[in-house]
Amino acid sequence: MSAVAPDGRKMLRLEVRNAQTPIERKPEWIKTRAKMGPEYTKMQNLVKSEGLHTVCQEAGCPNIYECWEDREATFLIGGDQCTRRCDFCQIDTGKPEPLDRDEPRRVGESVVTMDLNYATITGVARDDLEDGGAWLYAETVRQIHRQTTNRADGRTKVELLAPDFNANPDQLAEVFSSRPEVFAHNVETVPRIFKRIRPGFRYDRSLKVITEARDFGLVTKSNLILGMGETREEISEALRQLHDAGCELVTITQYLRPSVRHHPVERWVKPQEFVELKDEAEQIGFSGVMSGPLVRSSYRAGRLFQMAKEKRGAYTASQAV
């Protein structure tokens, strides 16, 4: 077996070990049907004619038909090279290009052109930058809000799916002050295997970032990917820990292996278990839950945000009685 990755670099020892396990065959329930409604078709034509780029089409997301029908889309900022490596993620690890300070404005223009109701902004970790990329994330939120202020259907709502910024108080303050409608930070997996799966992150630090965002007043969200070696009991414990940390919204999904270099799939979680986990998460107290084999962290993001708003409104009303 060649020890060279597709991008020409030498494979890491972990990648060589992963590659010894062939790509797994997906079960029958891991499939989606294309449902092309009028809004999706309009968005598809617009993206193509304007030369726009979204994570939705470039990553081949199975939920693109539903999200675009709701006029929701996801954008990746900060380049295509991440300074950290997670064993499930298809984004390459390497030295990023210099910061593109015009990127936030261009993303804002794309959101305006697509006339989005809801935009999810995600990106790579930029530990090479003095501020960890905090300005880039914050400015993208500000640009979208600013450029859509006079939108006929109301200002575009923004969900920021961000790295942990090493829990640096100044960097978090910069990001929080941009006031995204939702601040999302994904823990992705359970404590026992966290360091192996996400060596550049720390589980407790991720929980701390979520708590800080909630304390700032932002709606908070996270994601769990199943099938990387966790147990059923560990999933339940992680859900409780997330909720205790102040997380209001959660998505739960099946791990799909991007390539042989990535972590092998340990198990295929059956649809019924996702239903049970949704019920459990709601009983724990999450305001909104999306759970399913093909759910992604930005799936039905606008609807989840609305659930959090309604839950907060109901709580405020009850306190006033």
As a whole number, mean pLDDT of residues 95-105 equals: 94
pTM of the model as a whole: 0.91
Partners of residue 118 on adjacent β-strands: 72, 157
Lowest mean pLDDT: which of 40-44, 223-227, 300-304?
A: 40-44
Report the domain count for the chain: 1
Lowest mean pLDDT: which of 46-55, 200-209, 298-307?
A: 46-55
Q: How far apart are CA 246 and CA 225, in angstroms?
A: 19
Is the pLDDT at 215 greater than 90? The verdict is: yes
Q: Output the domain CATH number for residue 284.
A: 3.20.20.70
User: Which pLDDT does position 36 carry in this prediction?
Assistant: 80
Structural domain containing residue 234: 53-320
User: Which pLDDT does position 7 carry in this prediction?
Assistant: 61
Would residue 13 count as lying in a domain? no
Alpha helices in the chain (DSSP H): 13-19, 38-50, 55-58, 64-69, 103-114, 134-147, 169-176, 191-197, 203-216, 232-244, 271-284, 301-320
Q: Are 144 and 111 in contact (CB under 8 A)?
A: yes
As a whole number, mean pLDDT of residues 28-51 equals: 82
Is the pLDDT at 313 greater than 90? The verdict is: no
Is the pLDDT at 22 greater than 50? The verdict is: yes
* Closest residue by Cα to residue 87 from 257, 204, 235: 257
Would residue 21 count as lying in a domain? no
Would residue 113 count as lying in a domain? yes
Q: How far apart are CA 231 and CA 181, in angstroms?
A: 33
User: Which pLDDT does position 1 carry in this prediction?
Assistant: 46
Residue 160's alpha-carbon distances to 59, 278, 303, in angstroms, are 18, 23, 15
* Closest residue by Cα to residue 155 from 163, 147, 166: 147
As a whole number, mean pLDDT of residues 260-286 equals: 96
Would residue 160 count as lying in a domain? yes
DSSP string for residues in 11-66: PPHHHHHHHTSPPPPPPTTS-------HHHHHHHHHHHHHT---HHHHTT-TTHHH
Three-state DSSP class for 121? Answer: strand
DSSP 8: S
User: Which pLDDT does position 6 carry in this prediction?
Assistant: 60
Would residue 271 count as lying in a domain? yes
Residue 77's alpha-carbon distances to 97, 162, 283, 312, in angstroms, are 12, 10, 35, 30
Would residue 48 count as lying in a domain? no
DSSP 101: T
Residue 55's alpha-carbon distances to 113, 132, 229, 314, in angstroms, are 16, 22, 27, 34
Would residue 46 count as lying in a domain? no
Confidence tier at 130 by pLDDT (50, 70, 90): very high
Q: How far apart are CA 21 and CA 272, in angstroms?
A: 27
